[in-house]
Amino acid sequence: GENVEQHPSTLSVQEGDSAVIKCTYSDSASNYFPWYKQELGKRPQLIIDIRSNVGEKKDQRIAVTLNKTAKHFSLHITETQPEDSAVYFCAASMGNSGGSNYKLTFGKGTLLTVNP
Amino acid sequence: ETGVTQSPTHLIKTRGQQVTLRCSSQSGHNTVSWYQQALGQGPQFIFQYYREEENGRGNFPPRFSGLQFPNYSSELNVNALELDDSALYLCASSLGGRQGYTFGSGTRLTVV
């Protein structure tokens, strides 16, 4: 089955700096890669996702890149703010079949701390 | 549009007991998945229901079972609770197609 590795496990940056979190996946059939932000005691929230037919996607200060050949994808956060502090999870999925989505396989998470 | 709601929010059970967790999917979503999140770990897939049928299962024993109802709400049942079952149980719903998953806030289960 799919295996997702995520690095680093913790990341501390100064406010205004950039943060990069990297993930690798094992199953070349995976074609959907979402990123979730989870604040302490709260639900995982989808912040950005990318499908295998594109190499990069951007939404304001957040961007995700995908290298299908190397089977890795990365989350980039620019101009970090204290409210970006949370645990970030990457995930991989084979997308969907008919009317149903395939399961998500998650990485172990990265605790991002943005220091004021 | 309502989000994914789960109940109860917290639960304490004794080893060997049985528990039922409930999830109401987001309006219009026909697929519900359940995940177990141990402390400091990423969510692990338990199983998924699509139109009331189980259509995917992770590496969890048969004492983890579920149901999906005609209104697409769902239950997760765990029998013969073990201490290692202590975790946050997350429900996620989706519409399929090119839509992603929306997660509920979870049920924190503690087994003592």
pLDDT in tens, B58-75: 999 999 999 999 988 999
pLDDT in tens, B2-51: 689 999 999 999 999 999 999 998 888 888 999 999 998 999 999 999 88
Shortest CA distance to A109 belongs to which of A34, A7, A1? Answer: A7
Shortest CA distance to A32 belongs to which of A84, A105, A87, A112? Answer: A105
With CB atoms and an 8 Å threshold, state whether A6 touches B44: no
User: Chain B contact for A21, CB < 8 A?
Assistant: no
pLDDT in tens, B79-100: 999 999 999 999 999 886 556 8
Shortest CA distance to A41 belongs to which of B36, B107, B91? Answer: B107
pLDDT in tens, A42-87: 899 999 999 888 899 999 999 999 999 999 999 999 999 999 999 9
Residues of B contacting chain A (CB within 8 angstroms):
4, 30-31, 33, 35, 40-45, 48, 50-51, 55-56, 58, 90, 92, 94, 96-106
With CB atoms and an 8 Å threshold, state whether A96 touches B104: no
